Amino acid sequence: MRWLDIHDIAIALEETYPNVDILYVRFTDLWQWVQMLPGFEDNSDRSNERILEAIQMAWLEERR
Look at residue 33 in the predicted model and tell me its pLDDT.
98
* Mean pLDDT confidence for 3-24: 97
- What pLDDT digit, counting tens, does each position of 33-60 carry? 999 999 999 999 999 999 999 999 999 9
Q: How far apart are CA 14 and CA 44, in angstroms?
A: 21
Look at residue 48 in the predicted model and tell me its pLDDT.
96
pTM of the predicted structure, to 2 decimals: 0.93
- What pLDDT digit, counting tens, does each position of 18-30 carry? 999 999 999 999 9
Which are the contacts of 44, defined by CB distance < 8 A and separation ≥ 6?
31, 35
Ordered domains of the chain (ranges, CATH): 6-63 (1.10.10.600)
CB 3 within 8 A of CB 54: no
